[in-house]
A = this chain, B = another copy of it.
Amino acid sequence: MTAPAQPTSPRRSDATRAAILRAARERFAADGYERATIRAIAADAQIDPSMVMRYYGSKEGLFAAAAEFDLRLPDLAAVPPQQLGETLVRHFLTRWEGDETLVALLRAASTNPGAAERMRGIFADQLTAAVATFGTDPATTARRAGLVASQILGLAYTRYVVRLPPMVDTTPEDLVSWVAPTLQRYLTGTPGS
C-alpha cells in the first residue's frame, strides 16, 4: 500500500510519527486502551489529533503500531540447562524495566480484544518457539510455555499494573532468586514435584 521501503526516503514527518508513537506507548501503558485518548496522545506529542489519524488511520491502527513488540528472547539452546529459569526471569525483568510497550500491551489486553489477540500471538509464537528449542517432549511444550507465561505475566501484572507493594518493593535480584526455580520447574520438571 504505502511506498516500498526505499532506504533513501527520510521523510520530514518521520520525527512526528516517532513522537506520536512514543506518546502513544506512554499513554497506553499508563491508562490502558480506552482511557488513552487520541487527543491526549496528540497533546503529549505536541501535534494535532488529526495528524494521528492521517499517519495511523485509526486508534486501532495506532495501537497496532505502538504494540509491535519482540520479546528478544535469547537462544535457550545455548543456555546451560540448569540456568534456564534464571536466564528467563532476568531477561524479562530487564526487558520490562526498559520498555513500556509490554506494560501497554498488558494493560490493554485486559479490555481490548485485539490487544488480547496480539498478546496470545506473542506468547504462543515467540515463547513457545523458544521453549521448543531445547529437548523436552514436544507434546508438553505448549503447556510448559503457558505455565511460564502465567508466572511471568503475573509478575508483571502485580508489579507494574496493580503495583502490589511487596512486589514493587522487592529488588529485581530477589525476584530472580525466588521466581527462577519456578520457571526452571515449568520448563524442565514434572508436575507434582
Contacts and interface: CB of A to CB of B under 8 A. Distances in A.
Nearest to A33: B111
A69 interface: no
A123 B133 CA distance: 37
A124 B34 contact: no
Contact of A191 (B107, B145, B146, B174): B174
Interface in A156-171: 157-159, 161-167, 170
Interface string A176-187: 011101100110
| Residues of A contacting B: mostly | helix
A31 interface: yes
Interface in A24-78: 31-35
Interface size class of A (residues with CB under 8 A): 35 or more
Interface string A135-160: 00000001101110111111101110
Contact of A149 (B111, B119, B158): B158
A80 interface: no
Interface of A: 31-35, 106-107, 109-111, 116, 119-120, 123-124, 142-143, 145-147, 149-155, 157-159, 161-167, 170, 174, 177-179, 181-182, 185-186, 191-193
3 shortest interchain CB distances as A-B pairs? A154-B154, A146-B166, A32-B111
